[in-house]
Amino acid sequence: MSEVVARQRENVLIAGGSSGMGLSLARSLLADGAAVVIAGRSAARLAQARAALAGVGDVRTIAADITREEDVVRLFEECGGVDHIVSTAADIGGAYELLPALDLAAARKVIDSKFIGPLLLAKHGSPRLAAAGSIVFTSGIAAYRPAPRGSVVAGVNGALESLAYALAVELAPIRVNVVSPGWVDTPIWRQVAGDEARAKLDAMAQKLPVGRIGQAADIADGIRFLMRNSFVTGAVLHIDGGHRLV
């Protein structure tokens, strides 16, 4: 009973929680009785998230761009104390190009959304976390299985994991971890792959040892583990269906 009560009192901030993995995580945490704040840039997508989660639990949404420090400061002023901070935010679509065609502005969007944003969340969120709190970032399989057109995403994913190692030491006893998804059927994947998304996902499913592509709920389960296991910090949890092995 005490564990259930403790979980009901969790206050969780999910940056990038208006769709995909973040939305799935929000749904599962709300079902546990947690209070969830979803932060995102798009008021329209936040409204859609509120509608999708209506009746599930205590959810709030705050419009904020985590790549802007003033927005992150305001975000934590509005949401107050938190037990866990999770970032699933990513703006990566335009950066999948071969190096000669790479647009620097698109590359900077990846860096800002997947590295600078999480860094700012840790900077301004850690003072509001209890000693038993945690921070979870989201990297990805590109750091381990890079492909042509994916150099920027691969580099940023690797940098994010190194950042987590350093922050796990600097911010201790607050725990800092990373979940590294493989190919997951989410809106961001469809944005990247376009009309070929379904065919590419099906082809990858045939290669993976588990025989299927990941779902948002698979990643949400991993994030919940990292949030709640008090003996895990400075770790990268690979949820990739065995992609690193093939």
Pair type for strands 11-15 and 35-40: parallel
Q: For position 93, what pLDDT does the model report? A: 81
Q: For position 186, what pLDDT does the model report? A: 87
What gap in Å lies between CA 19 and CA 22, rounded to an integer?
A: 6
Question: Is the separation of the CB atoms in 61 and 45 below 8 Å?
Answer: no
Residue 81, amino acid:
G
Q: Which two tokens stand for residue 103?
A: 């647009």
**Placement of tokens 């969340």 in the chain:** 121
Angstrom CA distances, 129 to 12, 50, 223, stand at: 10, 25, 17
Residue 216 neighbours by CB distance under 10 Å: 22
Cis peptide before 118 (omega within 30 of 0): no
Torsion region of 20: left, alpha or beta (phi above 0 gives left; psi -120 to 50 gives alpha): left
**Total number of residues shown for the chain:** 246
E strand or H helix at 15, and its extent?
strand 11-15
Q: For position 100, what pLDDT does the model report? A: 95
Q: For position 64, what pLDDT does the model report? A: 98
| Residues with active-site annotation | 139
Q: For position 193, what pLDDT does the model report? A: 66
Q: For position 45, what pLDDT does the model report? A: 94
b/e map 178-201, b = 16+ CB within 10 Å? bbbbbbbbbebbbebbeeeeeeeb
Q: Does domain 2-245 have CATH number 3.40.50.720?
A: yes
Residues with pLDDT less than 50, the chain:
1-8
